[in-house]
Amino acid sequence: MPVLFWTDALIFLLLALTIAFVFYARRYEHLRAPWRQVGRSGVAMGSMVVLGFFLSVTILDSLHFRPPLQSAGLDQTGRYSTEILSVFDWVVTPIRERDEKSYSAPFAAYLYAKETVELPNGRKDRRYPRLKYGAAHLADPERERSADIISTGVWGLLKGMVLCLAVYALIVFTVARRTRASVTVTFGRINTGDTVLRWRPMLLTLGVLVLLTTTAAELAVKYHILGTDKVGEDVFYQTLKSIRTGLMIGTLTTLVMLPLAIVLGIMAGYFRGWVDDVIQYLYTTLNSIPSVLLIAAAVLILQVYLDNHADEFSSVAERADLRLLFLCLILGLTSWTGLCRYLRGESLKLREIDFIQAANALGVRHLTIITRHILPNVLHIVLITVVLDFSGLVLAEAVLSYVQIGVDPTMNSWGNMINSARLEMAREPIVWWSLLAAFVLMFTLVLAANLFADAVRDAFDPRLRQQ
Amino acid sequence: MPGALLSVSGLVTHLGSPVRPVKAVDGVDFEIHEGETFALLGESGCGKSITALSLMRLLPASGRIVSGSIRFDAQELLGLSEARMRAVRGGGMTMIFQEPMTSLNPVLSIGRQIAEALRAHQGETGAAASAHVQELLQAVRMPDPAKRAGEYPHQLSGGMKQRVMIAMALAGRPKLLIADEPTTALDVTVQSQVLDLIRQLQRQRGMAVLLITHDLGVVAEMADRLVVMYAGEIVECAGRKQFFRDPRHPYSRALLDSLPGLGNRKQPLRAIGGFVPSLQDEFIGCRFFPRCERALSVCERQAPVWFTEAGHRVLCHLYTDEAERPAAGTPGAATATPVESEAGTGPPLLEVRRLEVHFPIQAGLLKRTVGHVRAVDGVDLDIPAARTLALVGESGCGKTTVGKSILQLITPTEGSVRFDGVRLNTLPRSQLRRRRAELQIIFQDPYSSMNPRMLVGDIIAEGISALIPDETRQRRRQRIENLLNEVGLPADSAQRYPHEFSGGQRQRICIARALAVEPKLIICDEPTSALDVSVQAQILNLLQALQQQLSISYLFITHNMSVVSYLADDIAVMYLGRIVEQGPVNEVLLRPRHPYTEALLSAVPVLDGDAGREVIRLQGDAPSPSSPPPGCYFHPRCPRRFEACGERYPARTEIGDGHHVHCHLHADSTSACD
Amino acid sequence: MIAYIVRRLFYAIPILIGVNLLTFVLFFVINTPDDIARSQLGDRHLTAESIDNWKRAHGYHKPLLYHSEAAGMDKLIDTVFFDKSVRLFAMDFGRSDSGRDIGHDISQRMWPSLAIAVPTLLVGIGLNITFALLIAFFRATFIDYWGVVICVVLLSVSSLFYIIGGQYLLSKLFHLVPISGYDTGWNAIKFLVLPVIIGVISGIGSGTRWYRTLFLEEIGKDYVRTARAKGLSERVVLFRHVLQNALIPILTGVVVLLPLLFMGSLIVESFFGIPGLGSYTIDGIQRQDFAIVRSMVFLGSVLYILGLLLTDISYTLVDPRVRL
């Protein structure tokens, strides 16, 4: 039975809006040309592939459903489990369901801490117990483990290479079809980078991603490749699940912020007078509260509300989702002021520009002037802001969750992972894998987003284009 | 040649990507001798500024000198190390730029900026330097140099900033001053001050000047010798007298012919068709060939070679080929009688009375109004149907505000604007909207006057859909096609974006947009001042033709006297928010009464610069409209002022024939000064 | 000048009133004092009486806005709004929900915050400007390219990892400085070194990149060409002309932050166990102590507005174009 969370609905709405915008942009040369410039930037295209990978995980992880109960007999058809899963969960079932007892290091066969185990002969001994799932297939982990890891990894790599070649061939054929050039010519063009889109860096990134995925998939079935956490949950699974949280914060916040910033900013700049005064007062006031504190205050209030209305939610997941949504809302409310002020300034300048004066002289109505003349001429600013803000928001999620004013503690997020791992910092030897897992994925996402944002800004900012 | 201070040969400078570079300078040769003024004349984009920057080796990051040689003062500059080149910059040759507004460092006092040049080249510091700074400021005739040295650029007017630039240039005692459009950003009266200064300093110091300009008048006033540049190469090189007596290259001739003025009043101007070719292209034949009226078949196939006669060099097939050489002589100016429209007898179409626009200066806690900028301070204007009134004045005099307040884009503070008998400035918004079709406007800047995100067709249709919304799609498209045709653009322009068009074409689109709603009056706010002269001629021709066909009236706002004398029927001269003199064009231009009009007319550089005319030099700059001087606003700068001028504003004096003036010299009660 | 400052202070009043109303709505209207009491007391002994007692003990028992039973001015004064919100204007923060004097806590705790924030800011700006100038000097070379790449990489790392990594390397691995804690007087220095270093490093990426853009923007301007045409060396052009102009946005961008330095850094202070205002705020948040959070929100906005005022004043000092 499908389940639609609020954030799921909104992310699909955002996706639909993005697709609509792409179709809109294709019709206008002034929007197409900068994107073509982005397309020529190898770094940007490589980053885009990475972002696309994260986005697909998010989308898979946003298709929620309740699995049917299997244990029951035939008469129980139509009954569903109370547990809500996503398609992504279903795909990674093998790593999701293999909880250990507690901490274990990456690729470990034993738990991280000694436990008292009852030996077959009835004596008790403190030793490292074997893991229930990690490396469970090995009879003698001490001897066989390294060889098994390597052979499994190589097997994964090989599978990946086959997949890579298939993708490569598919893309070459598609491009050849579309450009109506022969396959060999297209092959040469793509390899020398002589194409409108820079295929080479995209294919390279895609290849690396595919190889990593297949290898990891192959290994993850047999081992906990990033270890397990305190309650024995697979860290690799956690960090993958955190992708959705990070991306949600980065994108849904934008959805909240944009309408406010655009409508108010343009109105303030275009109408001036008392409208301007009111809007300026509004954003100066909001801006004067340090944003962390405003978020903290709002989240505290939300927390109290959720505590007192706990019975209104049917599941923990639903509650966590609502908290995520509110966090996006609050972040949006604190971050629209910057863009609003910028748009106000632009609109002030634009309203004095000749073509808007001419439209006035032609008797064009205000609403038409705003939608036809002002909005298209500030759209690039909006776009630049959105892509630049994204990485900041992903980073902010980690910090806020760390301070415990972020997402729900039950939700998988990099901030929560760091927060729980930090408590083990003092442990000797240190439990480092949760931190590493969160670091690697977060860094990859943020770096890709930053590089992509830079390329978009370079392409769309007219000031930079003149240089 | 011995004695040449600077000799440039085979200079090639490229901009942009090496794959498909813009060949901004493509094989330029010339020599400048000590103490002479050498002009580099050309229209925008011909590569003249890049030539100058190449000489200084100050090209922008995307530019590079590909080949050639620049010998300056017996030294090859292109091989010089950057450290030794710095000694040449500012020491041997210096440069002043077009935009004095942005060319000075805003956070350093001008004294320090000049002292910096002194330290770099004379090694002077401390008291010696500051004494020298004041000396230099005195040399550029800066009033009150001791006080000015401590001021910052934003406290100075444009003309004064250009003087500071010149003072800074003089600090290194250069042998060559490169002046890149030094007066283009300045008003005509200030321009004549600055040109005068350059000429005088050059005589005193024996300095050579390389004057880069697009203005034929400035060349005629200043240059000893000149070269004409077109599409990255030099096409003609001559002494000034030779050139203006007998311009040889068809391009030079066309340039001279396209100048408007009283002489060719209301006749079609000889505009140069087509455009300057892209400098990214490869050229086979003559670069001017596609636009040349006298092109031969060889011009397309083969690049021309130099033809020299008595020091007059020209790069044209007409002279080197077997083909018959053209007869020397004045360019063929038709001498048909000008088409003068009848003096406006009917009721005026537009009647402006005591128009005032005051912008409040706000300060204090509750934005109290502490004063007003009297941008427009009691203006009366009448424009009859199918006539052209030129509103003339320098920047900041309020002429643009007059235009916008007639259109009700700015609400007038006081006074009335009647159009066709209806008072516009008290109409409710909805009724005003309906009347908007009758008055339209064309702006100065062809780049900002169209939404870059819209198709040309939609831009033109904007007024139609706002004011005539019930027209069918089919008819609208037909109309746009007709309009494009009318302004001389191909019909398929409708499906293109503004950035695909040149400045002149954009101005045509703007005219089409205005015409689309069938206006009776078009306010033309400096429509040609951002255009090259050859393109200006096209636009003036178009405006002229449209007036004859459609009986449109124009309010032509401009600072350019030659355009006024060419196009206008009546003139109103504006100074500091008020009209000081008004009358029919011949009256005002030939018999100006107000000293300001006289000064304005005399400051315009003329082509036959030898005719020992006397230029009236005005002192200083126009005062701020927020605090006009007492009495006659003009009296602090007036060369003919007397006591009465400082006491009260002069009343209107009728001269006759609709000519009137506000000046105590002509007041009925006061006798002219003794 | 003084008239201007006074005038600007008057402008701040409506904004502070706005902040005050907003926090009041957030803290008392969306959730009533009953809700707060309930969540403070937990689920164990929830009787109407215990809620009432808690409210009375913390001064939340009065009506929110209007006390209909009181006499005269007390109708307005004897309310939660007056007690908890209006008094903030007099910098009277009242008592925290755990009963401590907030004003006293603030005056104690702002010094450790400053001891970290000020050196971090100064060293950070110095380093960022140096790096940015270096990159600008070598613009359009490989140094520029890799400089920017390094900046982007640095700013893509979450500040949490800088702290964790720094603590691990310097304290745990090399035992150079204590991992966290604080002491009084000069003894504090050894506790401050690590947070300052980490604060500086985590800001280098974004700071250097931003300053580089500012420098490059200035380098593209006409007056730089004039300076070169005078024959000045690239060094003089960069240091005298470009730096002086670029310092205007840099300085004014810093000035707005100055008053907020009092508030300290939430994360650094909590990681290193520094008893500053940042960790105070975090504690308040984690203990759900609404009185502390409310006070810090108000204090933060006062300091921000002060920062805006200082920015405007600093403009008039460093930019000759701006006059009062």
Task: State the CB neighbour count (10 A cutoff) for residue A426.
Answer: 10
* DSSP H helix total and E strand total for chain B: 22, 23
CB contact under 8 Å between B510 and A353, yes or no, is no
pLDDT band per the 50, 70, 90 thresholds, residue A243? very high
| Per-residue confidence (pLDDT) for residue B584, from 0 to 100 | 92
Whether A361 has its CB under 8 Å from any CB of chain B: the answer is yes
CB contact under 8 Å between B107 and C319, yes or no, is yes
Give how far C119 is from chain B: nearest CA, Å: 29
| Per-residue confidence (pLDDT) for residue A463, from 0 to 100 | 62
For residues A187 and A242, membership in a common domain is answered with no
Short-list B226, B288, B292, B278, CA closest to B45: B278
Choose, out of A292, A397, A414, A433, the residue to mutate when testing the contact with C (most C CBs < 10 Å): A292
Mean pLDDT of B158-186: 91
- Domain endpoint, select from A159, A190, A222: A222
Q: Look up the ipTM and state it.
A: 0.85
Q: What token pair was written down for A417?
A: 């992972």
Residue C8 lies in a domain: no
Residue A31 lies in a domain: no
B624 vs C221: which has the higher pLDDT:
C221
- Name, of A137-141, B295-299, C172-176, the range with top average pLDDT: B295-299
Cα-to-chain-centroid distance, residue B1: 36
CB contact under 8 Å between B94 and C229, yes or no, is yes
CB contact under 8 Å between A363 and B451, yes or no, is no
For residues A288 and A437, membership in a common domain is answered with yes
Whether A140 has its CB under 8 Å from any CB of chain B: the answer is no
Q: At what angle do helices B158-170 and B126-139 cross, to 10 degrees?
A: 130
Mean pLDDT of A117-122: 76
DSSP string, B503-571: HHHHHHHHHHHHHTT--SEEEEESTTTTS-HHHHHHHHHHHHHHHHHH--EEEEEES-HHHHHHH-SEE
Q: Domain range spanning residue A441? A: 235-466
CB contact under 8 Å between C31 and A301, yes or no, is yes
CB contact under 8 Å between C36 and A304, yes or no, is yes
Q: Above 90 in pLDDT, residue A428?
A: no
3-state secondary structure B527-541: CCCCCCHHHHHHHHH
Question: Residues A327-357: pLDDT tens digits?
Answer: 999 999 888 999 999 999 999 999 989 999 9
Residue A97 lies in a domain: no
CA–CA dist B289, B298 (Å, integer):
10
Q: What backbone phi and psi angles, to 5 degrees, belong to B636?
A: -65, -25
CA–CA dist B129, B123 (Å, integer):
9
Choose, out of B430, B451, B521, the residue to mutate when testing the contact with A (most A CBs < 10 Å): B451
Q: For residue B497, give the nearest of A29, A362, A467 by CB distance.
A: A29
Whether C144 has its CB under 8 Å from any CB of chain B: the answer is no
Strands B233-239 and B306-309, how do they pair?
unpaired
| Per-residue confidence (pLDDT) for residue A226, from 0 to 100 | 86
Choose, out of C213, C266, C293, the residue to mutate when testing the contact with A (most A CBs < 10 Å): C266
For residues A199 and A312, membership in a common domain is answered with no
CB contact under 8 Å between B102 and C321, yes or no, is no
Cα-to-chain-centroid distance, residue A72: 37
Mean pLDDT of A311-322: 82
Whether B451 has its CB under 8 Å from any CB of chain A: the answer is yes
Nearest CA in chain C to B89: C231
For residues A148 and A211, membership in a common domain is answered with yes
CA–CA dist A26, B218 (Å, integer):
49
CB contact under 8 Å between C267 and A290, yes or no, is no
Q: How many domains does chain A have?
A: 2
For residues A277 and A158, membership in a common domain is answered with no
- C10 contacts on B by Cβ (under 8 Å): 365
Mean pLDDT of A183-212: 83
Q: Above 90 in pLDDT, residue B322?
A: no
CA–CA dist A325, A5 (Å, integer):
10
CB contact under 8 Å between B103 and C228, yes or no, is no
Question: Residues B551-581: pLDDT tens digits?
Answer: 999 999 998 888 998 999 999 999 999 999 9
Under a CB-based contact definition with an 8 Å cutoff, are residues A175 and A190 in contact? yes
The angle formed by the CA atoms of residues A228, A231 and A236, to the nearest 5 degrees, is 30
Cα-to-chain-centroid distance, residue A191: 31
Q: Domain range spanning residue C299? A: 109-323
CB contact under 8 Å between B97 and C7, yes or no, is no
pLDDT band per the 50, 70, 90 thresholds, residue B613? low
Residue A360 lies in a domain: yes
CA–CA dist B601, B561 (Å, integer):
7
- Domain endpoint, select from A177, A196, A222: A222
Residue C6 lies in a domain: no
Task: State the CB neighbour count (10 A cutoff) for residue A440.
Answer: 12
pLDDT band per the 50, 70, 90 thresholds, residue A462? low
pLDDT band per the 50, 70, 90 thresholds, residue B366? low
- Mean pLDDT of chain C, nearest integer: 84
CA–CA dist B217, B192 (Å, integer):
11
* Residue linked to tokens 């060349």: B219
Short-list B184, B137, B138, B136, CA closest to B158: B184
Residue A106 lies in a domain: no
Mean pLDDT of A8-28: 89
CA–CA dist B410, B499 (Å, integer):
29
Give how far B173 is from chain C: nearest CA, Å: 11
**Amino acid (1-letter code) at residue B499:** H
CA–CA dist C107, C88 (Å, integer):
15
Residue C291 lies in a domain: yes
For residues A247 and A213, membership in a common domain is answered with no
Q: Which residues pair with B70 in a beta bridge?
A: B8
Mean pLDDT of A212-226: 86
CB contact under 8 Å between C231 and B104, yes or no, is no
For residues A320 and A423, membership in a common domain is answered with yes
Q: What token pair was written down for B169?
A: 């240039």
CA–CA dist C23, C25 (Å, integer):
5
| Per-residue confidence (pLDDT) for residue B314, from 0 to 100 | 92
CB contact under 8 Å between C321 and B154, yes or no, is yes
Torsion of CA A424, A425, A431, A435, to 10 degrees: 100
DSSP string, A91-157: HTHHHHS---SS-B-TT-SB-SS-EEEE-TTS-EEEE-PBPSSTTTT-S-HHHHHHHHHHHHHHHHH
Mean pLDDT of A239-254: 91
Peptide bond into B182 cis (omega under 30): no
Q: How many domains does chain C have?
A: 1
Question: Residues B8-57: pLDDT tens digits?
Answer: 999 999 998 888 889 999 999 999 999 999 999 998 888 899 999 999 99
Residue C142 lies in a domain: yes
**Amino acid (1-letter code) at residue C106:** I
DSSP string, A177-218: HHHT--HHHHHHHHHHT-SSS-HHHHHHHHHHHHHHHHHHHH
B533 vs A195: which has the higher pLDDT:
B533
CA–CA dist B412, B433 (Å, integer):
17
Residue C306 lies in a domain: yes
- Mean pLDDT lowest for which of B164-178, B203-217, B484-498, C166-180? C166-180
- Mean pLDDT of chain A, nearest integer: 85
pLDDT band per the 50, 70, 90 thresholds, residue A47? very high
For residues A354 and A244, membership in a common domain is answered with yes
B373 vs B329: which has the higher pLDDT:
B373
Q: Above 60 in pLDDT, residue B364?
A: no
For residues A312 and A195, membership in a common domain is answered with no
- Domain endpoint, select from A199, A222, A245: A222
Residue A15 lies in a domain: no
In what order do the strands lie in the sheet containing A64-65? A2-3, A64-65, A85-86
Which CATH number goes with the domain that contains C153? 1.10.3720.10
Q: For residue C230, give the nearest of B90, B102, B365 by CB distance.
A: B90
Share of residues in chain B with pLDDT > 90 (%): 41
- B454 contacts on A by Cβ (under 8 Å): 372, 376
Phi-psi sector, B576: left (phi>0), alpha (psi -120 to 50), beta: left
Residue C162 lies in a domain: yes
- A293 contacts on C by Cβ (under 8 Å): 281, 293, 296-297, 300
For residues A198 and A278, membership in a common domain is answered with no
For residues A346 and A378, membership in a common domain is answered with yes
Nearest CA in chain A to C40: A304
3-state secondary structure chain C: CHHHHHHHHHHHHHHHHHHHHHHHHHHHHHCCHHHHHHHHHCCCCCCHHHHHHHHHHHCCCCCCCCCCCCCCCHHHHCCHHHHHHHHHHHCCCCECCCCCEHHHHHHHHHHHHHHHHHHHHHHHHHHHHHHHHHHHHCCCCHHHHHHHHHHHHHHCCCHHHHHHHHHHHHHHHCCCCCCCCCCCHHHHHHHHHHHHHHHHHHHHHHHHHHHHHHHHHHHCCHHHHHHHHCCCCHHHHHHHHHHHHHHHHHHHHHHCCCHHHHHCCHHHHHHHCCCCHHHHHHHHHHCCCHHHHHHHHHHHHHHHHHHHHHHHHHHHHHCCCCCC
B347 vs B168: which has the higher pLDDT:
B168
Residue C70 lies in a domain: no
pLDDT band per the 50, 70, 90 thresholds, residue B523? very high
pLDDT band per the 50, 70, 90 thresholds, residue B336? very low
- Mean pLDDT of chain B, nearest integer: 87
Phi-psi sector, A232: left (phi>0), alpha (psi -120 to 50), beta: left
Q: Above 50 in pLDDT, residue A322?
A: yes
CB contact under 8 Å between A377 and B452, yes or no, is yes
CA–CA dist B478, B482 (Å, integer):
6
- A291 contacts on C by Cβ (under 8 Å): none
Q: For residue C281, give the nearest of A293, A395, A454 by CB distance.
A: A293
Nearest CA in chain C to A392: C156
Residue A81 lies in a domain: no
Short-list B589, B592, B572, B576, CA closest to B388: B572
Under a CB-based contact definition with an 8 Å cutoff, are residues B548 and B247 in contact? no
For residues A250 and A296, membership in a common domain is answered with yes
Secondary element (H or E) of residue B311: none
Residue C245 lies in a domain: yes
Share of residues in chain A with pLDDT > 90 (%): 30
Mean pLDDT of C198-204: 92
